[in-house]
Amino acid sequence: MKVSIVIPTYNEEKDIEECIKSIKGQSYKNFEIIVVDDGSKDKTLDVVKKFRDVKIIMGEHKGPGFSRNLGARKATGEILIFIDADMTFDKDYLKNLIAPILEDKTGEVVGSTHELEIVENTKNIWSRCWGRIRVSKEEAKKIRIFRAILRKKFLELGGFDSSYGYADDQTFWFKYQIKPVVAKDTICYHKNPETLKSVYKQSRWIGASAMNWWINTPGINWLAIFLLIILSPLMIILVSIKKCQRNKDWAIFLYMLVFITARYFGNISGYIQRLVWKKNFK
């Protein structure tokens, strides 16, 4: 069965080549690669063009959800696989990821997600503050993100809703309470943001995409933001302690304080961005 791998990109010149090479090294070979560029201002497209068999689609800078939908419509494979440009994979990743779909005899399996997501760039101090594991095998059971899905079903469900912003790849859970199956022996490696600026921007995007009940409750939302600002010194210290405990890494505590400060106020900035400008994409 042919697979279409859709990769949304936005200023990914440092990572996209390694990602594509990792895909090309897969044991499963019946696939096409579709890069949907979301308006990159760096040399992302120049890098991608070196791979003559990679299909390039120009997006409209409306976020990864819009780009994934665009790629899905242009895909020719029966199964869609959605990955990020800063991911690399074990050689059997594709084969194992689509196995639950291929082996399904009941028609109940809509799609799948991977079992383990490991942070690749832990030598960077700010990446290390995020943690060494992005998705553990235990956490994978709760994941709502589809990495592989039947193209026909994806289109029937209406694709991803870009209004969810950072969480657009969880659309099918929010709208239909549909979760993916965890595919066994699927390991991918993912990079965390490596600068305080990128940590802040990522956190702002996450904040702008928040699904918390209070963010949509008039009056309460602004009060909550005010309280978060007032309580910021205490909250930053408490969260930093919790993160170091969870990561079992007290050597970076001082860095963690700075990191959590960037994340904390990035989130708050995102909340405000959503309420004032109704914007929730990078």
**What is the number of other CB atoms lying within 10 angstroms of the CB of residue 72?**
21
Domain ranges of the chain: 3-190, 196-277
**What is the number of other CB atoms lying within 10 angstroms of the CB of residue 29?**
9
Q: 83, exposed or middle or buried, with CB in 10 Å at 0-12, 13-18, 19+?
A: buried
State the pLDDT at residue 281: 65
Sequence-separated (6 or more) residues with CB below 8 Å from residue 210: 267, 270, 271, 274
The single-letter code of the amino acid at 264 is Y
Q: What is the 3-state secondary structure (H, E, C) of the chain?
A: CCEEEEEEECCCCCCHHHHHHHHHCCCCCCEEEEEEECCCCCCHHHHHCCCCCCEEEECCCCCHHHHHHHHHHHCCCCEEEECCCCEEECCCHHHHHHHHHHHCCCCCCCEEECCEEEECCCCCHHHHHHCCEEECHHHHCCCCCCCEEEHHHHHHCCCCCHHHHHHHHHHHHHHHCCCCEECCCCEEEECCCCCHHHHHHHHHHHHHCCCCHHHHCCCHHHHHHHHHHHCHHHHHHHHHHHHHHHHCCHHHHHHHHHHHHHHHHHHHHHHHHHHHHCCCCC
State the pLDDT at residue 82: 98
pLDDT tens-digit profile, the chain (282 residues): 999 999 999 999 999 999 999 999 999 999 999 999 999 999 999 999 999 999 999 988 888 999 999 999 999 999 999 999 999 999 999 999 999 999 998 888 999 999 999 999 999 999 999 999 999 999 999 999 999 999 999 999 999 998 888 999 999 999 999 999 999 999 999 999 999 999 999 999 999 998 888 888 998 999 999 999 999 999 999 999 999 999 899 999 999 999 999 999 999 999 999 899 887 766
pTM for this one?
Answer: 0.92
CA distance between the termini of the chain: 34
State the pLDDT at residue 106: 85
Among the four given CATH numbers 3.90.730.10, 3.40.30.10, 3.90.550.10, 3.40.50.970, the one describing domain 3-190? 3.90.550.10
Q: What are phi and psi of 207, to 5 degrees?
A: -65, -40
Residue 85, CA distances (Å) to 160, 227, 258 in order: 18, 37, 27
State the pLDDT at residue 107: 81
The single-letter code of the amino acid at 30 is N
**What is the number of other CB atoms lying within 10 angstroms of the CB of residue 258?**
17
Tokens found for residue 180: 């993916």
Alpha-carbon 31 to chain mean position: 21
